[in-house]
Every structure is written in structure tokens, then in C-alpha cells.
Amino acid sequence: MTDYPNFHDRDGMIWFDGALVPWREANVHVLTHALHYASSVFEGQRAYAGEVFRLSDHSARLRRSAELLGFEIPWSVAEIDEGCRDVLRANGLTDAYMRPIAWRGSEQMGVSAQKTKIHLAIAAWEWGAYFGEEAIRKGVRLDISKWRRPAPYTAPTESKAAGLYMICTLARHEAQAKGFDDAMMFDWRGQVAEGTGANAFFIRDGRIHTPTPDCFLNGITRQTVIDLARRRGIEVVERAIWPEELESFEQFFLTGSAAEVTPVASAGPWNFEVGDLTLQLRKDYIDLANRRLSNA
């Protein structure tokens, strides 16, 4: 995965509470509620050929994530969409990764946050393949994390909330320290869940299996890939998947706005091939995102 150091010290413009401001001036106070209590939500989305793929879906999910955390973003889906387009234009970007983020401000300190102002910022930058180009050919290597996705009755798991990614960072750091690219996470029941920031798909005998997203995000890329597979007449089964099944699968891939469609070579003791169906679905996804594949 390519590193981009010094995210605080770059040229460019960031959309901040309705206006474009210089990158280095897009700052918040140290007593911002979100910094202390993780009261923030975000999106990860990519622009291809100057357009953000499924932009309104991302903007709508951002607003829904905030609602699940008990606050309302004071910009509509259409206004967020336009802010995203403004950021691309202002920075002269056509192919880019984009990060909208909404958070509670610094007007109140403590667990309660009813008096805080809600902020929204949107940044974008050039970002190639999430795991690097070589990963597309060879597949990524995943550790099996000791951290598990929480039960939906313990956290707002349908929200793309910043706080839910703390265990993802822990899992990924531990995996990378062991020489892996990333980690696969199980859920609180011990079922296969996802990667640290991407949904999981498995292939066996030409059929695709994917965990039911009942305690992690039903990703927008995930939904897109399911639709692409079904267009090709491929059966997609959403169900509980247990670790003991993993040795029976031939292929494994991850999906996400950052990861797009990335093959997996191994997960813990289980090995997989970078197969034709995985690569075809990756091509279909990239073509659709670049509007080279019909949306029909």
C-alpha cells in the first residue's frame, strides 16, 4: 500500500463547512468532541474520469451514519454531492480517492454532546491501488485477527463510524508487524466477517459465497460486485460462513471503495488462487466505475 506522508502539510483545497479552504488551514480544535469520544462518521469513495462512483449513495450513507450516531448533518445529499464535485475541480483531480467526514465540534466537553456544532469536510487526493499493483497479480496475504467485529446490539454497526475502526487499526498493525498485508476478522460469534476495511467474497465451483452483513457494513462496492456477478449469471449466496469452510474455497477476494476488487492469496493457514472469475469481476467493476460498462 502506497504511503502518503504529511497529510497535514500539502497543497490543495478542502471543502470545510460549505467553503473551499487551503489544505493547511482545514483544522479543528484539540477539544473537539469527535477527538475525545469518536463522534464522527466518514465515507471512502473514488473518482474515476472526473466523477465519483455512486456519489449520491455515498452521500446518503454518510447522512444515515450520522443519524445512527444521533446527529444530523446540516447539508443535504445534493449539497454534499456538489461539495465533492467542487473538491475535484478545485484540486484538478480526475482519478482520486475522496474522504468526506462529519463530526461533533468543541462547544461541549464530556460524554453529552447536544450543544456541539456539526461540521463537514471533504478532501481528495491521488491514491493508486490500495495494496499496490503487485497485489492484483499475486493476491494479498491476510493474518487472522484476534479482534472481532462487535455484535449489533453493542455498537451501531450499520454506521460508518470512526470509532468502529479502532479495532481495525489494531488488527492491521498486528498483521503488518508479522509481515502480512492485512487481516481477516471474524465476528463475535466466530463467523467469518470481513477484512479490516473491505468485504469478503469466496468462490467454490463457480458459485460466490459472502458473509451476511449483519454486524458490519454492507459496502457499496460489495453491493455493486454482487450485481455485476448476477448480471453474468453467477449465483451469489449471502450466508453465515464458518472458518472451517475456508479450506474448501478456491478463490477469495476483498471489495471496498479503496480496495476495489483485490484478490487474496492466503488467509492464515488457508491458500487461494488468483483465479479468472476474481479478475473478471475486478475488470467489470473498474469498467463500470469508468463508465465503460453499461449501467443497465
Catalytic residues: 160
Give the separation between CA 103 and CA 41, rounded to whole angstroms. Answer: 7
Expressed in angstroms, the distance from the first to the final Cα of the chain is 33
Cβ atoms within 10 Å, residue 8? 9
CB 250 within 8 A of CB 225: no
Give the separation between CA 254 and CA 265, rounded to whole angstroms. Answer: 11
CB 267 within 8 A of CB 195: no
Give the separation between CA 94 and CA 96, rounded to whole angstroms. Answer: 6
CB 88 within 8 A of CB 135: no
User: Long-range contacts of range 55-63, CB-CB < 8 Å, 24 or more positions apart?
Assistant: 55/81, 55/84, 55/85, 56/81, 57/220, 58/100, 58/220, 58/257, 59/84, 59/100, 61/160, 61/220, 62/100, 62/102, 62/160
Cβ atoms within 10 Å, residue 18? 11
CB 123 within 8 A of CB 107: no
Number of H helices, E strands in the chain: 7, 16
